[in-house]
C-alpha cells in the first residue's frame, strides 16, 4: 500500500463545483535511468488513475513515464448528491490501490 493523500471538501452544496486533489507515493521509475553499472533500471510506473463519484467517472487518466514521481492530479467535480468518491491507481508489477472518501452534499 502506497501512502496517498486526498483532499476533498468534507461537505458541499448541491450544484457546487468541488476541487479534488490526489497525491500518491510512487517512484514512477521510467525505465530510462541507468544504475551504477550502466544497466537500465526496470520500468515501474503507474499506468492508470481514475476518480469515480458514486461509480460514475469524474476523471480518468492514462499515464506515461513523463508523469513525475509521486504523481499529483487536481481536477473538479460537480456535487450532486452525497456519496463516495473512489480513487484507483493501477500500474506495473501488479500495482493496484483504491482509496475512498465520503462526500456530504446538502
* Residue numbers at the binding site for another protein (CB under 8 A): 3, 5, 7, 17-18, 21, 23-25, 27-28, 30, 32, 36, 52-53, 56-78, 80
State the nearest-atom distance from the C-beta of 83 to another protein, in Å. Answer: 10
Nearer to another protein, 73 or 89 (CB): 73
Identity of the residue, 17 or 93, whose beta carbon is nearer to another protein in the bound complex? 17
CB of 46 to another protein, least distance (A): 10
Q: Quick check: 88 and 50 in contact, CB under 8 A?
A: yes
Residue 33 in grid coordinates: 535511468
Q: Which of 61, 66, 65 is nearest to 49 (CA)?
A: 61
Q: Torsion over CA of 69, 45, 90 and 5, rounded to 10 degrees?
A: -10
Closest to another protein by CB, 3 or 93: 3
In the structure grid, which three cell numbers stand for residue 32, read together? Answer: 530510462
In angstroms, what is the minimal distance from the CB of 53 to another protein? 4
Contact (Cβ atoms closer than 8 angstroms) between residue 24 and residue 71: yes
Amino acid at each position: 500500500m502506497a501512502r496517498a493523500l486526498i483532499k476533498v471538501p468534507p461537505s458541499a452544496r448541491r450544484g457546487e463545483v468541488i476541487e479534488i486533489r490526489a497525491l500518491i507515493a510512487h517512484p514512477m521509475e521510467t525505465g530510462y535511468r541507468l544504475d551504477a553499472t550502466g544497466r537500465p533500471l526496470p520500468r515501474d510506473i503507474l499506468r492508470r488513475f481514475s476518480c469515480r463519484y458514486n461509480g460514475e467517472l469524474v476523471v480518468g487518466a492514462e499515464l506515461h513515464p513523463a508523469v513525475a514521481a509521486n504523481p499529483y492530479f487536481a481536477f473538479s467535480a460537480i456535487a450532486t448528491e452525497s456519496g463516495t468518491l473512489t480513487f484507483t491507481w493501477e500500474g506495473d508489477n501488479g500495482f493496484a490501490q483504491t482509496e475512498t472518501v465520503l462526500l456530504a452534499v446538502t
